[in-house]
Structure 1
Amino acid sequence: MSSFSIATSGEVLELLRDDLAAVEQEFTVQSQSPVRVVTDIAEYLIAGGGKRIRPLLLLLAAKALGCKDEARIRLGAVVEMLHTATLVHDDIIDEASTRRGKPSSNTTWGNSKCVLAGDWLYMQSFRTALEERNFRMLDLLISLTQEMVEGELLQMEKLGHLINEEEYFDLIYRKTASLFKVSMQLGAVVAYPPSEGMLPYEEALGEYGRNLGLAFQIVDDVLDLTAQDVILGKPAASDLREGKATLAVIHALERGTGADREAIRTVMEDRGFDRIRHSHILEILRRHGSLAYAMDTAQAYAEAARQSIAELPETEFKRALMWVPGFVTSRDR
């Protein structure tokens, strides 16, 4: 590993303050529609905030390779629009009532309008990307969207069923890490003139994004089990209530007693904690070291992300990329 130092959160914020503000403005502009309800839903979602980690990654990747092209701002908005579209559809599929501590958009506008607004955001993101006239960008975005949809369909098929770690990692790659990977790859693409084939550092940056995205989702899944509702901005243990087996749960199922496994299965079948308390599930997970196992796995992927960019030129933007994995694994929401 390079001995090059890791940036601080303040340094990263200062590096990208203007670019992130420009991405936010671009997202707002691109979300305007002559059909008022589309704009209303998009503005509601934008106002809901979020970490904006996907555009942040794209910007850091592009600037680490010396990019000064304003296309990085438009593509930052593209990946955030795609992410937002997936959230709209996820809330409908999961019948979620809250998102980031506020009523979910489908609670406010209903499923029918929101699924169409999500579709509109998908198409608007592609329309914005199309203006770059770069086939590599479109290839990445089309493949990404297919993977995310396939991931959602696979997850729906497996709800309420026990899955193994291989199936879990396939799911979280498709649903989460693929967008992290493509955000990093787009950063490489926008830094160079259009060309055929793999660009310098595109593979390394994509691997960074894949590893980081896996770490991000594992931590998300642990927080879903352990954090308080008020911190999460949604009901705790939502995944288990919805019949989703995440890494810590899979680990406990493989190592638990018959009674432990039956308790977890009961919650997944009931889709709630009517017969088995949430605290009892947490006790099982802690007794078998399952939460620690999941967090150790996330830390390993975070370190793999750092290793992936060891050969990247030593710049302040690389220092910032070295900071992101620590932020991902130490957050509380």
Structure 2
Amino acid sequence: MSTISIATATEVMDLLRDDLLAIEREFTVQSASPVQVITDIAEYLIAGGGKRIRPLLLLLSAKALGATSQSRIRLGAVVEMLHTATLVHDDIIDEADTRRGRPSSNTAWGNSKCVLAGDWLYMQSFRTALEERNFHVLDLLITLTQQMVEGELLQMEKLGHLINEEEYFDLIFRKTAFLFKVSMQLGAAIEGASDQTEEKLGEYGRNLGLAFQIVDDVLDLTAAEDVLGKPVASDLREGKATLAVIHALERGTGADREAIRTVLADRSFAHVSHVQILEILQRHGSIDYAMDTACAYAEAARLSIADLPATDAKRALLWVPGFVTSRDR
């Protein structure tokens, strides 16, 4: 493991502020359409903010390899457009009312308009990426889109059913970690890095993405609604078994397992309360187990870039896993 120091949050923002602002402007330009409702929905989504962690990863990957071309801004906007399109579709599928503390776009405009706006954003992201004239970039984005769609379909098939850890990790890899992986790989592709270097950066993204989603799932169970920006325990209400729940199912008493099964099957807390589920998870150390697993993946992400040259970008990449595992929303 490298002995270079881990960057601070301030140092990371100072390093990336101008590029992130440029990506925001590029996203705004690329999401403008002659059809006003598309522009309105896109502007609403952009104004909703977010962590912008995927373009941040792409920038750090590119900077770690010395890239300075405009490609990093263009492709940073591409990954954020793709991510935003998935959020629009996810909110429709999940029948979500809120997103980041505001009404979800489908609540404001309706499902029909939003699913089409999401489709438009997908296609616009590919149109923007096409400007790179790079078949490898397109191959990464096509594979990514297929994985995310397959992950969503697999999850829909498993709603309300019990799944094991292997199935859970397959789902979160497809739905979340693959985009983190590709964001890092795109940063390498900009610079024409070797396959080995791209693989290492991709492995960082994969491990970080798994940690990110596990933490997201824990926060869904434990965070306050005003902090989370959406209803808590949404996953259980949608019939999704996440890592802490799977852990408790494997270790709980018969009554514990029956309580969890009831919530997953009912897709509500009508017969078993959220507080009862939390008590079961706490009693079996399931929340701690999930967080320990997330921290292990975060450390694996750091280890995967040990051979990168000691740069400010590498110091920033060493900071990101700690941010992912310590956040409260």
| TM-score, structure 1 as length reference | 0.98
Structure 2 residue matching 1:6: 3-state secondary structure = coil
- 1:214 matched to 2:210: yes
Residue equivalent to 2:222: 226
Residue equivalent to 1:41: 41
Q: Which moved more, 1:31-40 or 1:263-272?
A: 263-272
Letter in 2 for 1:282: L
Residue equivalent to 2:3: 3
Structure 1 residue matching 2:195: 3-state secondary structure = coil
Distance in 2 (CA, whole Å) between partners of 1:64 and 1:192 is 13
> Where does the alignment leave 5 or more consecutive residues of structure 1 unmatched?
none
CA apart distance, 1:191: 1.6
CA apart distance, 1:277: 1.0
Q: How many equivalent residue pairs?
A: 329
Letter in 1 for 2:9: S
Counting aligned pairs with the same residue, the percent is 81
Distance in 1 (CA, whole Å) between partners of 2:145 and 2:5 is 35
Distance in 2 (CA, whole Å) between partners of 1:262 and 1:23 is 48
CA apart distance, 1:200: 5.1
CA apart distance, 1:149: 0.1
CA apart distance, 1:199: 3.5
Distance in 1 (CA, whole Å) between partners of 2:195 and 2:221 is 40
| TM-score, structure 2 as length reference | 0.99
- 1:12 matched to 2:12: yes
Trace 1:97-246 onto structure 2 (pairs within 5 A): 97-192=97-192, 198-199=194-195, 201-246=197-242
1:128-184 per-residue CA deviation (whole Å, 9 max, x = no partner) reads 000110000000000000000000000000000000000000000000000000000
CA apart distance, 1:2: 1.1
Letter in 1 for 2:4: F
Distance in 1 (CA, whole Å) between partners of 2:210 and 2:142 is 21
Letter in 2 for 1:244: K
Letter in 1 for 2:229: G
CA apart distance, 1:83: 0.1
Distance in 2 (CA, whole Å) between partners of 1:224 and 1:30 is 32
Q: 1:189, 1:199 within 8 Å by CA — same for their partners in 2?
A: no
Residue equivalent to 1:94: 94
Letter in 2 for 1:128: T
Match of 1:313 among 303, 309, 312: 309
Q: 1:212, 1:305 within 8 Å by CA — same for their partners in 2?
A: yes
Distance in 1 (CA, whole Å) between partners of 2:27 and 2:187 is 17
Letter in 1 for 2:110: G
Distance in 1 (CA, whole Å) between partners of 2:192 and 2:29 is 26
Residue equivalent to 1:322: 318
Distance in 1 (CA, whole Å) between partners of 2:265 and 2:294 is 27
Trace 1:57-76 onto structure 2 (pairs within 5 A): 57-76=57-76
Residue equivalent to 2:291: 295
1:86-127 per-residue CA deviation (whole Å, 9 max, x = no partner) reads 000000000000000000000010000000000000000000
